[in-house]
Structure 1
Amino acid sequence: MVEFSRVAPDLAASDVVGQRTLAVGIDAVVVGLCSVALATLAGPFDAVELADVGLPPALLFAPVVWMSYAVALVGTWGQTLGKYLAGVVVVDSRGDAPTYRAAAVRELLRLADVLGVGLLSLPRTTQRQRLGDRVADTIVVRAEREERPL
Structure 2
Amino acid sequence: MDNRQAIGSWLSGPRAALEDAGAEFGYRGEQLGLPEDGPGSLARPGRRIGALAVDWALCVLIAYGLITDGYGQSTSNWALLLFFALSVLTVGTVGFTPGKRLFGLRVVALGSGRVQPVRGLVRSALLCLAVPALIWDRDGRGLHDRLARTVEVRT
TM-score, normalised via structure 2 length: 0.67
* The one of 123, 127, 141 aligned to 1:129: 141
Paired positions, count: 118
Larger Rg: 2
- Identify the range of structure 1 (57-66 vs 24-33) with the bigger mean alpha-carbon deviation: 57-66
Q: Which has the higher contact order (CA 8 A, sep 6+)?
A: 1
For residues 37 and 119 of structure 1, what CA distance do their matches in structure 2 show? 30
When residues 18 and 94 of structure 1 are mapped into structure 2, their CA distance, relative to the original with a 3 A threshold, is: same
Identity level (%):
28
Residue 17 of structure 1: aligned partner? 45
Structure 1 position 138 matched with structure 2 position 150: yes
1:29 aligns with 2:57: yes
Question: What is the CA–CA distance in structure 1 between the aligned matches of 2:45 and 2:96, rounded to whole Å?
Answer: 15
For residues 97-143 of structure 1, what are the alpha-carbon distances to aligned partners after superposition, in whole Å with 9 as ceiling and x for unaligned?
A: 10111111111112443x4x5422x2x232x2101100000000001
Unaligned runs of 5+ in 2: 1-33, 36-40
Pair 111,56 (structure 1): closer, same or farther in 2 beyond 3 Å: closer
CA RMSD of aligned residues (A): 2.4
The 2-side partners of 1:67 and 1:112 are apart by 10
Contiguous gaps of at least 5 residues in structure 1: 1-10, 48-54, 144-150
TM-score normalized with structure 1 length:
0.69
Counterpart CA distance in 2 for 1:38 and 1:132 is: 30
Tell me which amino acid in the other structure corresponds to 1:140. E
